[in-house]
Amino acid sequence: MKPLELITTLLSEEGREDPYPLYAELREHGTLVTVEPGYLVATSFDAVNGLLRDPTFAAQDASFLLLSSSILSTNPPEHTRVRRLMSGAFTARRVAELAVAIESQANALIDEITQKGAPADLIDDFAYRLPLGVICELLGVPEKDRSWFRPVAADFAIALEGTFTLDEAAAAQSAAELFEAYFSDLVRSRRGTRQNDLISELVSAAELSESELLGNLALLLLAGFETTTNLIGNGVMTLLQRPEQLARLSGAPELVDVYVEEFLRFDPPVQLTSREAKETTVLEGQRIEAGTYLMALIGSANRDPDRFVHPDHFHPERPGNTSISFGAGAHFCLGAALARLEARIAFPLLLRRLPQLALAGEPLRRNRLVLRGYESLPITWT
Ligand code: HEM
């Protein structure tokens, strides 16, 4: 297929089901492929890495107002200033302090699952709830308010996809408005009484404007669970499809760190991001005109055979396994340490407390490419 046809297929249901063969075909066209004039895709590890690390390529304005004031869509110097204010809460040390709370939340969810009995939905009952609970705890979102988040966040998350229908765009817009109103109230209450949470911390950082504050709170909420849910879901599915790996990790939970890195590489929760060339420049030896739109195919970079030996093989103990699943450069994922910690806690607990884990029905995939994961994953155990 020609590059344009490959990209169109990638964005269709077929591509969303299994993008990896399409990525392989795209890589045959080169490391930086022209789809149309002014529209390129980076397919190799080095091209994606180079694109994300080079400040000439800027993050674009989000299509939705609320996120356009978040760090995901801004560039230096605003990006540097705001990211510095936010990063204190996500350092390795601060994140490590959350381990006990994460473990107790994970155990409580598994208690509920075992009390209800098999079958359970791994996504609904666990993979979605754990990261949501953790990010809400960190931000200071009261528990009673969380019940309406899931469908609204799912509508809102479409803002991160490259393509959407008019209906989806309208739903995303109303979801953004709901979140904006909700966080506005929460911020107002914290301006009155400071609490020991991240919202209060950000509110008292006087350098943040109201729209920066709201945009970044919405981003943290969304990035905090829409992605980690998929790391857990995609990882469990990878194990269920490979009984020998499931048995291996169950018997040797101390291997969890390398398994989590390989889950991240093998089926990354965020498949792609994009940039725009601010000036005419060179990438991978090609001249790039100012204004060019570039897609960074993270999912393809992670399967680049020049970087990873037998890339389509799930191999947790591969040496030097540094995938690009959390991005690179100025926008490198702020929550990487938190996501890794949640997964490192979740997998051993799930495998220990739900022995002989198996599928109890047909998994349902989410109709998304950028945020790749499952809508539901029915499981049973003994
Ligand atoms: C496995 C889970 C996760 C994955 C795969 C992931 C992936 C990514 C990627 C690829 C980017 C870079 C986007 C770009 O360059 O355009 C990013 C940025 C970001 N992530 Fe994550 N993320 C995860 C979890 C989290 C969590 C738990 C949080 C929050 C607590 C979070 C917060 C953010 C933020 C705030 C940014 C924007 C950083 C910036 O623009 O400077 N992420 N993430």
The number of the ligand 1 atom at minimal distance from the alpha carbon of 332 is 12
Query: pLDDT digit string (tens) for 263-299?
Result: 999 999 999 999 999 999 999 999 999 999 999 999 9
pLDDT, average across residues 134-163? 86
Asked if 294 and 42 touch (Cβ cutoff 8 Å), the reply is yes
| Cα radius of gyration (the chain) | 20
**Which structure tokens are listed for 314?**
């799930």
pLDDT, average across residues 3-8? 96
What pLDDT, on a 0 to 100 scale, did the predictor assign at position 70? Answer: 93
E strand spans, 142-201: none
What pLDDT, on a 0 to 100 scale, did the predictor assign at position 207? Answer: 80
pLDDT, average across residues 119-147? 94
Cα–Cα dist 72/343, whole Å: 23
pLDDT surpassing 70 at residue 64: no
**φ, ψ of residue 312 in degrees (nearest 5):** -85, 0
CATH topology of domain 3-380: Cytochrome p450 (1.10.630)
Ligand 1 centre to CA of 333 (Å) is 4
pLDDT surpassing 90 at residue 158: no
Order of strands across the sheet with 378-380?
Answer: 120-121, 378-380, 358-359
pLDDT surpassing 80 at residue 185: yes
Ligand 1 centre to CA of 119 (Å) is 32
Asked if residue 335 has its Cβ within 6 Å of ligand 1, the reply is yes
Asked if residue 219 has its Cβ within 6 Å of ligand 1, the reply is yes
What pLDDT, on a 0 to 100 scale, did the predictor assign at position 62? Answer: 62
What pLDDT, on a 0 to 100 scale, did the predictor assign at position 184? Answer: 95
The pLDDT mean for the chain works out to 94
Ligand 1 centre to CA of 51 (Å) is 17
Asked if residue 337 has its Cβ within 6 Å of ligand 1, the reply is no
Amino acid identity of residue 8, one-letter, is T
Asked if residue 132 has its Cβ within 6 Å of ligand 1, the reply is no
Q: Is 168 or 205 the better-scoring residue by pLDDT?
A: 168
Cα–Cα dist 378/79, whole Å: 41
**Which structure tokens are listed for 134?**
């953790």
Q: What percent of the chain has pLDDT over 70?
A: 98
Query: pLDDT digit string (tens) for 77-99?
Result: 999 999 999 998 899 998 999 99
Asked if residue 269 has its Cβ within 6 Å of ligand 1, the reply is yes
**Max avg pLDDT among 36-40, 152-156, 211-215:** 36-40
pLDDT, average across residues 312-331? 97
What pLDDT, on a 0 to 100 scale, did the predictor assign at position 26? Answer: 98
CA angle 86, 323, 247 (to 5 degrees): 110
| Residue ranges per structural domain of the chain | 3-380
Q: Whose CA is nearest to atom 43 of ligand 1?
A: 333
Q: Whose CA is nearest to atom 27 of ligand 1?
A: 224
Q: Whose CA is nearest to atom 18 of ligand 1?
A: 333
What pLDDT, on a 0 to 100 scale, did the predictor assign at position 126? Answer: 98
Ligand 1 centre to CA of 104 (Å) is 24
pLDDT, average across residues 363-379? 94
Q: Which of 49, 227, 302, 344 should be mutated for ligand 1, with most atoms under 8 A from CB? A: 227
pLDDT surpassing 90 at residue 169: no
Asked if residue 40 has its Cβ within 6 Å of ligand 1, the reply is no
Asked if 242 and 249 touch (Cβ cutoff 8 Å), the reply is no
What pLDDT, on a 0 to 100 scale, did the predictor assign at position 147? Answer: 85
The number of the ligand 1 atom at minimal distance from the alpha carbon of 342 is 27
pLDDT surpassing 80 at residue 228: yes
Q: Among candidates 184, 185, 161, 183, which has minimal Cα distance to 172?
A: 161
Q: Whose CA is nearest to atom 34 of ligand 1?
A: 334
Asked if 266 and 310 touch (Cβ cutoff 8 Å), the reply is no
What pLDDT, on a 0 to 100 scale, did the predictor assign at position 81? Answer: 93
What pLDDT, on a 0 to 100 scale, did the predictor assign at position 349? Answer: 98
Query: pLDDT digit string (tens) for 120-129?
Result: 999 999 999 9
Confidence grade of residue 63 (pLDDT, cut at 50, 70, 90) = low
pLDDT, average across residues 181-193? 92
